[in-house]
Amino acid sequence: MKELFIDVLGKPFGIVIFQLLEATQYTVYLSLIAFVGGGLIGAVITLARISGKPGWRRFASGYIWLFQSIPLLMLLFLSGLGVPRLLGQDVNPWVSAIVSLTLYSSAYLSEVWRGAIQAIPRGQWEGGSALGMRFLPILRAIILPQAIRLALAPTVGFSVQIIKGTSLAYIIGFHDLMNLGKRWANAPVEGTEPFVIYPLMALIYFSLCFPLSRIALVLERRLGSYSKGPQITAA
């Protein structure tokens, strides 16, 4: 495959394009892992945030406040450089990047989902209670089908922020599109100047993010109202 790029585009441009596209897969992998991991943790934090137990709500609020207040760049510094220095052990850049982006994603996703759940009229909860249903059955059968309609578009939209956030992981040595692109831009090779490499990188990031942005917009238009979702009212 590399030879094909070289035959079509020549040297060094063919090599650059091939390596940039190859490194993009790691950007995609990191984004997917952070999105899934952040979603799982975010779901737990969301449940704690809306629970009737003050202790759990305080914990969830503190978690969200903490990881929304710390910049992603600082999380990467702490997990990739600070913790290894403190413990005297090396931390794999993959582990550091995954931990940082997962914590960052979970805090924001939990707020998106909490807002969607709390946007459902209180009468839906009261209607379920009037039928003798408990908290979790009401949440699963009545609230979530409506909240998902509200949360889907901003959730997909936030995945764009995760992809762009991965570009900061180069500071801890994570081998991705940004890391490789900067190395080529700094290489003393004719045809790999910054004004060539950075537009190429921007085009690749755009190709990853733009479709998700359009999907989020379409979902927002189609599912933006919970009025079409299943509803129940108290007698």
Q: How far apart are CA 46 and CA 44, in angstroms?
A: 5
What sign results for the dihedral spanned by CA atoms 217, 218, 220, 221? positive
What mean pLDDT value characterizes the chain? 87
pLDDT, position 8: 67
Of 1-5, 34-38, 87-91, which has the strongest mean pLDDT? 34-38
pLDDT, position 7: 66
pLDDT, position 81: 85
Residue 28's contacts (CB-CB under 8 Å, 6 or more residues apart) are 163, 208
Q: Which residue has the higher pLDDT, 86 or 50?
A: 50
Q: How far apart are CA 190 and CA 137, in angstroms?
A: 64
Give pLDDT tens digits for 133-173: 888 888 888 889 899 989 999 999 999 999 999 999 999 98
Indicate if the pLDDT at residue 131 is higher than 90.
no
pLDDT, position 63: 96
Which candidate, 43, 172, 49, places its Cα nearest to that of 100? 172
pLDDT, position 72: 94
Indicate if the pLDDT at residue 60 is higher than 90.
yes
Give pLDDT tens digits for 206-233: 999 999 999 998 988 887 544 444 444 3
pLDDT, position 232: 40
